[in-house]
Chains A and B, each alone.
Chain A
Amino acid sequence: MGYHTTPEKMNAIFSDLSKDYLIYAPKRFVGDGTFTDIDTIRYGEITDLAEIEFAEKSDYSFKEVLLPISETLFYFTENEMKEADPPKKGAIVFLRSCDLHGLKRMDTIYLENGAVDTYYKRLRDQTKFILIGCENSFDNCFCVSMGTQKSDDYDAYIKVDGQTVLVDSHWDVLDTALAGQAPAPVTPDSVTANDTVVTIPETVPQTLFDAPFWEDYGNRCIACGRCNFVCPTCTCFTMQDIFYTDNGKAGERRRVWASCHVDGYTDMAGGHAFRNDKGQRMRFKVMHKVNDYKRRFGSHMCIGCGRCDDVCPEYISFANCINKLNDLVNDTVKEEN
C-alpha cells in the first residue's frame, strides 16, 4: 500500500522498529576512501533517514549484513563446539534494485546449492529489505543490460522528497504504523537506460580460455581482490580457526570473505595451485559471473552494479571485458564458418 508521510513520522516509526531491528543503510564516511580526501559510501547503522546517502551509489554492497566480513561459527574448547548465538535483533536494510536482485544470487548459493546454511538463513529470515529508487543511472552501472533495474520484491520502498516521504509498503508492520497517513499510489523510481551497455556471449568456447586476450588482464591485475569484496554477488569464504591464547584450548572458528583474484584461493597441500596467472583468474571470475552461474542456476550472477569497475585501482573494466569477450566469441564463430 502507498502512503505520503513526513520524515518526522517515518523517523518515529524507525525509532519504534529499532527495538527489534538494527537499521542498515548506505552512509557517507568522510575522508575514508583510497585517499584521505575521498569519501566512501558504505553500510552502517542509522537511526535517522537524514543519515542515508540517497544521492550516490554505495562503494560497498549490503552483503556484509547477511555475510559478515568475518563471522564466528563456533566457540570451542578441545572437545566441545558451541554454535555462535545469532544477533538478538533482526535487520532492516536499505538497498537499490540491482542489489535486491543480488540478494537472490546469495539466496541461491546459501539456501539452495547443497545444504541450507544455518548462519545465513537465521540472518536472512530476520531481515527486511527497503528499496531505494534510482532517478538516474550512476557511472559504470549496467543494470538494464542485466535486467535488474526494477524490482517489486521488497518489504517497502521509501523515497524522501523534501518534507514528504513516499512509502510503498508490502509489510504489515509498516502498514499498521502508517495507518492514518495519506494513502497515495507510489511507484519506485527506476532507470530505463545506462551509459554502459554490455552484450553477453551466450556461450564461450573453452578454446578461448587460453586466448591471448586474457594476458592483458594478467599484466594489469595486482590481485588485490577489491573487485570481489565490493561485489554483492561474490559469496566465497575461507574457514579460519583462531585461539585466544597460545597454549589454551579455547578459541573460535570463523569464516572470512575470500577472493578468487587473491593468491592462495586454490592452494592445495604440496604447494600445488590452480590459476597462478592473474589473467586466468579474471577469466574464471568473468565466466562465473556471466556464464557458469547461469548454466547452473538459470540467471546471470552479475547484477550490473558496476562497483568492480568503480573500485579497481588498475582501471580494469569488467563491463569492457564482457564486451570484448563477446566480440572475440563472434569473431571466432565467424572464422569457423
Chain B
Amino acid sequence: MTTTALNTNNSDNPYLPFLSEIIDVIKHTEIEYTFKMTYSGAVKPGQFFEVSLPKFGEAPISVSGIGDGTVDLTIRKVGKVTDEIFENYIGDTLFLRGPYGNGFDIANYKGKEIILVAGGTGLSPVKGIVDYFSAHPDDCKSFTLLVGFKSPNDVLFKKDFEEWEKNLNVIMTVDTPVDGYCGKCGLVTQYIPDIPIKNSDQAVGIVVGPPMMMKCTITELFNVGFKEANIWISQERKMCCGIGKCGHCKIDDTYICLDGPVFNYTKGKFLKD
C-alpha cells in the first residue's frame, strides 16, 4: 500500500485519506461493480470507507468483502463521485479514509438460527456475514439468505451465490422477471413464512435494504415470532464526514456514522429523522 502522507501533513488528521490500489474489478451489472482494494487493518462487515476523489468529492461505501490485505467495495454508479470511480481500472489507485461505523458483530449471531434479508445493494454491507457463515456453517444452527433484486439483470454477486448455495439456504427473488428467467418472483416478504425456523423467539434476523423493504420485512419477521431484540438493521443516511462532525447523519441523539450504521432493532425502531 502506498500513501502520500507528505511530510507537512499531520498524520493524526482524520480527513487525510490514504492511497489504495485497485487489484480487481468485478462487473455485476452495467452500473454496479465491485472494486477489490488493498487494505490491511481491522475491519468488520457493515463498516464503511469514505472513497475520496480529488475534484469530485467523497462517498461513503460499505465494505462488501474482507480478504487477506484487501477489502471489497461494491459501488453503484449514481452521481459525481461514483461515476468517476468507474473511470478507474486494475492498477489504478483511489483515496480512501476509514473504516468508519460500528459494523456487524459476528459473535452476536453465532450458534443461532439466522435469517438474513437483503434488498438489492443492501446485500453489500451484510455480504461479509454471509461469507463468514458460508465458510463456517457449523458456527450457526441454520442460515437462510433471502435476497430480492429488481430484475434478473440487477443480480449482484452471481459467483458468490454459487458458493453460498453449497452451505446455506439461499432464496433469491426478483420483482420483475424477464423472458427466460425461471427463478423466484415477488417481494422478499412473501417467502418469510415458509422458512423453516425451530425457535423463532431465539432466532436472529438481519435486515438491510431500502426503507420500505426493511419496514415490511421486519413486520413479517414479527408475524412469524421473531423478537425485537434479535433483529439487526443497517441505516443509510447522507454523510459528509463519517466522524461525528458534519451533522448530516444525525437522528435524535444518534450519529449514524459513529453509533451505527448497524443497530439492534430495539434502538433502531426509535430513530425518527
Contacts and interface: CB of A to CB of B under 8 A. Distances in A.
A239 B9 contact: no
Interface string A73-84: 110111111110
Contact of B78 (A77, A253, A270): A270
Contacts of B12: 116, 118
Nearest to B245: A117
Interface residues of A, number: 52
Contacts of B10: 83, 118
Contact of A235 (B13, B247, B272): B247
Contact of B16 (A83, A243, A251, A270): A83
Nearest to B247: A236
B245 to A, nearest CB: 6
Contacts of A295: 252-253
A267 interface: yes
Interface string B241-273: 101111110101101011000000000001011
Contact of B245 (A81, A235, A240, A268): A235
A265 B95 contact: no
Contacts, number: 129
A239 B253 contact: no
Contacts of A275: 273
Contact of A114 (B55, B58, B255): B255
A296 interface: yes
A80 B9 CA distance: 11
Contact of B17 (A81, A266, A284, A287): A81
A292 B246 contact: no
Given A118-B12, A236-B248, A80 B243 contact: no
Interface string B71-85: 000001011001000
A267 B9 contact: no
A274 B252 CA distance: 13
A287 B253 CA distance: 9
Interface string B1-36: 000101011101111110100000000000000000
B121 to A, nearest CB: 10
B243 A115 contact: yes
A258 B246 contact: yes
Contacts of B272: 206, 209
Interface in A231-286: 235-241, 243, 249, 251, 253, 255, 258, 260, 265-270, 274-275, 280, 284
Interface of B: 4, 6, 8-10, 12-17, 19, 53-58, 76, 78-79, 82, 93, 95, 236-238, 240-241, 243-248, 250, 252-253, 255, 257-258, 270, 272-273
Q: Which 4 A-B pairs have the closest CB atoms?
A: A114-B244, A236-B247, A274-B273, A115-B14
24 contacts: A73-B15, A74-B16, A79-B19, A79-B93, A80-B6, A81-B95, A82-B8, A83-B13, A85-B8, A110-B245, A114-B255, A115-B243, A206-B270, A237-B245, A241-B56, A249-B55, A251-B55, A266-B238, A266-B273, A269-B82, A284-B273, A288-B250, A292-B250, A293-B253
Given A114-B245, A209-B272, A293-B253, 16 more contacts: A77-B54, A81-B6, A81-B54, A81-B95, A82-B9, A85-B8, A113-B245, A114-B258, A115-B244, A238-B240, A239-B57, A239-B241, A249-B54, A269-B76, A295-B253, A296-B253
